[in-house]
């Protein structure tokens, strides 16, 4: 299966991006695939994602996910590169938008408070690490303002 990995921080507009696409390639959320499989099997995130993807029948998919996440102490944590190495990623699309838009979206969907500075830093690190992963794994990438 060929994967186009679509990344961006929480609230950037990954769902909106997928709704605007004009092709017939299906899209999946890494988080939803992981959670769905883990509920029934109690395995770690990487195994859950790989197993969930192996059950899909499509030849090509969009997969949304994150290069970084915010930890319990509001620290920005990189997703281990091993996760990306284990996937058949053919292209990476990194989404970004104005931090004010992200802040408004997060107010409505999270019980955590994110400062403007944290959102700016989170988005910067997501983009930097996404480009780093793409370069290390020799994957084509594109940065898209949404």
DSSP string, 51-120: HHHHT---SEEEEEE-SEEE-TTS-EEEPPHHHHHTS-EEEEEEEE--HHHHHHHHHHH-SS---HHHHH
Residue of higher predicted confidence among 91 and 113:
91
Region class of 70: left (phi > 0), else alpha (psi between -120 and 50), else beta: beta
Mean pLDDT of 98-115: 87
Q: Could you report the per-residue pLDDT of 65-94, keeping only the tens digit for each?
A: 999 999 988 999 999 999 999 999 999 999
pLDDT category, 128, cuts 50, 70, 90? very high
Do you know the residue count of the chain?
146
Q: Could you report the per-residue pLDDT of 90-106, keeping only the tens digit for each?
A: 999 999 999 999 999 98
Q: Could you report the per-residue pLDDT of 28-48, keeping only the tens digit for each?
A: 999 999 988 777 676 788 888
pTM, whole model, 2 decimals? Answer: 0.93
Assigned token pair, 25: 């390639």
Q: What percent of the chain is modeled with pLDDT above 70?
A: 97
Q: Tell me, what's the pLDDT at 7? A: 98
- CA nearest 15: which of 2, 25, 6? 6
Mean pLDDT of 130-138: 98
Q: How many Cα atoms are found within 13 Å in the side-chain-facing hemisphere of 90?
A: 8
Q: Could you report the per-residue pLDDT of 16-30, keeping only the tens digit for each?
A: 999 999 889 999 999
- Contacts with 113 (C-beta within 8 Å, 6 or more apart), sequence order: none
Q: Tell me, what's the pLDDT at 121? A: 97
């Amino acid at each position: 299966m060929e994967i186009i990995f679509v990344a961006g921080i929480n609230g950037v507009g990954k769902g909106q991006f997928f709704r605007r696409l004009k092709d017939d390639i299906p899209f999946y959320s890494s988080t939803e695939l992981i959670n769905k499989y883990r509920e029934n099997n109690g395995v770690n995130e990487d195994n859950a994602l790989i197993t969930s993807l192996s059950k899909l029948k499509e030849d090509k998919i969009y997969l949304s996910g994150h290069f970084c996440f915010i930890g319990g102490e509001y620290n920005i944590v990189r997703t281990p590169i091993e996760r990306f190495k284990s996937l058949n990623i053919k292209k990476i699309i990194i989404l970004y938008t104005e931090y004010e838009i992200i802040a408004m979206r997060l107010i409505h969907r999270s019980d955590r408070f994110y400062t403007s500075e944290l959102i700016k830093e989170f988005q910067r690190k997501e983009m930097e690490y996404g480009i780093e992963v793409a370069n290390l794994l020799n994957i084509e990438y594109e940065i898209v303002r949404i």
